[in-house]
Amino acid sequence: MKKKYIEVINYLYSLQRFGIKLGLQNIEKLLKLFQNPEKDFISVHIAGTNGKGSTSSFIASILKASGYKVGLYTSPHLVDFTERIRVDGIPISREKVVEYVKSLQNEIDLLKATFFEVTTAIAFKHFADEKVDFAVIEVGLGGRLDSTNIILPAVSVITTVSYDHMNILGDTIEEIAFEKAGIIKEGIPCITGCDGEALEVIRKVANEKNSKLIIADEISKIMFKESDEYKVKFDLKTGKNYYVDLVAGVPGKFQTRNAQLAVLTFELLSDLGFANYKPENLYEGLLKVKEFSGLKARLEVLKPLSNYHQKPKIVIDVAHNYPAINQLVTELEVFKRNRLLLLFGVMRDKEYEKMIKKLSEVTDFAVATQPKIGRALDAKMISEIFKQNGVNSVYIYDSDKAFDFIVNESKEGDLILVTGSHYLAGEIIAHIEKRKIECLI
């Protein structure tokens, strides 16, 4: 089965040669072959530049804590393709991936369907087969023409809008917001954490679609309490309740914003009659988000590396654009350290000079590397930009070797931060797991 799975995954990756194909024609045809599984469950649809993965995970976790069977579709994966499609936090089996792809292969080839179109169809089929009560669906890119926009959700959520993927979504906040607002459906309520120019665009689309727009900061208020290396505590006042001492099971003050949107979504699902509201389930869902949803690499502190000579603290985060890096730098104050050693790799279509400049404010030594993906920025170029910003830096193209190097350069009390890309985070997590296994053999 392992050989068949690898063959199928390689086949799926080969579909990336068709690029990003915006539009719903292909997904409609693929889902028809599966007897339209997207109609068999209640869905929540989430778009946004940043925070949509965490927000999706919080929503799924709260629903699971409430006793529902919950599908969660997110992207990209970190280590294995199966992470993208989960039911109650458990990834789809490799056997199911093989089965579903094989059943669609003729149509995939005929349509020249893309990787994301096929993955979306597989996710919806799996959720229907597993008879989930809810499916929390994260948009892949944009919203309006994204494959996931085939669904008719109970609630739509737009987290944030900022500059990213400008070559596809547009060069202005208004253009990007318009694409995100494309998930708003006729008569379906929408919750958003946006403000400013983006909010005005979303408001206009919501009005045109007769969609009730719920603006998070207008109907609720976050009272931050404290954050440590593993969690964040806060109070939240909404129109429905006053929650005291909510604890989100991932660190970072910014996670209170994602949790806020998840709480408002759960309250709205309850008000609409889709979910049974009990505050204790909400508390449990926020706290157990990693366990219930599989959320990883959000300011995640990795366990001590007994198989490495040095034992620094290692934090891994998927921040992959300037707004996310800006937030990340602010949150690093909770990590006590002597030096910050940075392992950084980034895609060349990002605002990488701004990202590097911001990281340079807190970095003592940077190792630039290059994730194994065609879009990755050249590691030597990254290193040169760090040097221009006054940071001592070297470059090592292979991310595994780069990680081993930075660990060996570290001392007790140092903090190693791995960030810049989902792809880099995934490669390093896989490398660490491999090293652990090698030490047991």
212-233 pLDDT tens trace: 999 999 999 999 999 999 999 9
Q: What is the mean pLDDT of residues 317-329?
A: 95
What does the pLDDT read at residue 170? 56
What does the pLDDT read at residue 441? 40
CATH number for the domain spanning 21: value is 3.40.1190.10
Q: Residue 385 pLDDT more than 60?
A: yes
Residues 168, 37 share a domain: yes
Residues 214, 347 share a domain: no
Q: What distance in Å separates the CA atoms of residue 309 and residue 337, rounded to the nearest whole number?
A: 18
Residue with tokens 């603290």: 313
Q: What is the mean pLDDT of residues 62-81?
A: 98
What does the pLDDT read at residue 310? 57
Least reliable range by pLDDT among 40-44, 53-57, 161-165, 337-341: 161-165
What does the pLDDT read at residue 306? 58
What does the pLDDT read at residue 309? 56
What does the pLDDT read at residue 439? 46
350-380 pLDDT tens trace: 999 999 999 999 999 999 999 999 999 999 9
Confidence of residue 164 (pLDDT cuts 50, 70, 90): low
Using DSSP, state whether 90 is helix, strand or coil: strand
Confidence of residue 187 (pLDDT cuts 50, 70, 90): very high
What does the pLDDT read at residue 29? 96
Let me know: does 86 contact 72? Beta carbons within 8 Å.
yes
Residues 151, 116 share a domain: yes
Instruction: Name the DSSP letter for residue 264.
Output: H
265: left (phi over 0), alpha (psi -120 to 50) or beta: alpha
Residues 154, 88 share a domain: yes
329: left (phi over 0), alpha (psi -120 to 50) or beta: alpha
Please list, residue by residue across 148-157, b when 16 or more beta carbons sit within 10 angstroms of its beta carbon and e when fewer do: bbbbebbbbb
Q: What distance in Å separates the CA atoms of residue 261 and residue 305, rounded to the nearest whole number?
A: 35
Confidence of residue 173 (pLDDT cuts 50, 70, 90): confident
Residues 197, 110 share a domain: yes
Structure tokens at 126: 């799996």
**Of the residues 277, 293, 309, the one at which a domain ends:** 293
Q: Beginning with the edge strand found earlier in the chain, give each strand of the sheet holding 313-316 in spatial order.
A: 300-301, 313-316, 415-419, 340-344, 365-368, 392-395
Q: What is the mean pLDDT of residues 64-76?
A: 98
Q: What is the mean pLDDT of residues 253-279?
A: 98
- Mean pLDDT of all residues belonging to the chain: 93
Let me know: does 29 contact 109? Beta carbons within 8 Å.
no
Let me know: does 352 contact 388? Beta carbons within 8 Å.
no
Confidence of residue 440 (pLDDT cuts 50, 70, 90): very low
Confidence of residue 305 (pLDDT cuts 50, 70, 90): low
Residues 370, 351 share a domain: yes
User: What is the dihedral angle through the alpha carbons of 258, 259, 264, 269, rounded to the nearest 10 degrees?
Assistant: 100
Q: What distance in Å separates the CA atoms of residue 352 and residue 349, rounded to the nearest whole number?
A: 8
Closest of 137, 130, 72, 55 to residue 100, by C-alpha:
130
Let me know: does 389 contact 360? Beta carbons within 8 Å.
yes
Using DSSP, state whether 374 is helix, strand or coil: coil
Q: Residue 113 pLDDT more than 60?
A: yes
Q: Residue 321 pLDDT more than 80?
A: yes
Residues 211, 330 share a domain: no
Q: What is the mean pLDDT of residues 51-62?
A: 97
Q: What is the mean pLDDT of residues 428-433?
A: 93
Let me know: does 396 contact 322? Beta carbons within 8 Å.
no
126-148 pLDDT tens trace: 999 999 999 999 998 878 889 99
Q: Residue 314 pLDDT more than 60?
A: yes
What does the pLDDT read at residue 178? 92
Let me know: does 62 contact 282? Beta carbons within 8 Å.
yes
CATH number for the domain spanning 331: value is 3.90.190.20
Confidence of residue 102 (pLDDT cuts 50, 70, 90): very high
Confidence of residue 19 (pLDDT cuts 50, 70, 90): low
More confident residue, 162 or 271: 271
Residues 316, 217 share a domain: no
**Of the residues 268, 293, 318, the one at which a domain ends:** 293
Residues 112, 92 share a domain: yes
- Domain region containing 116: 2-293
What does the pLDDT read at residue 272? 98
User: By percentage, how much of the chain surpasses pLDDT 90?
Assistant: 86
Residues written for the chain? 441
Q: Which helix (H) or strand (E) holds 365?
A: strand 365-368
Number of domains in the chain: 2
What does the pLDDT read at residue 18? 58
| Tally of helices (H runs) and strands (E runs) in the chain | 17, 17
Residues 245, 336 share a domain: no
Q: Residue 21 pLDDT more than 70?
A: no
Q: Residue 285 pLDDT more than 90?
A: yes
The half-sphere exposure of 150 on its side-chain side, counting CA atoms within 13 A, is: 23
Residues 217, 347 share a domain: no
Residues 249, 306 share a domain: no
Q: What distance in Å separates the CA atoms of residue 24 and residue 90, rounded to the nearest whole number?
A: 28
**Of the residues 241, 261, 293, the one at which a domain ends:** 293
Q: What is the mean pLDDT of residues 411-415?
A: 92
Chain centroid to Cα 212, Å, comes to 26
194-203 pLDDT tens trace: 999 999 999 9
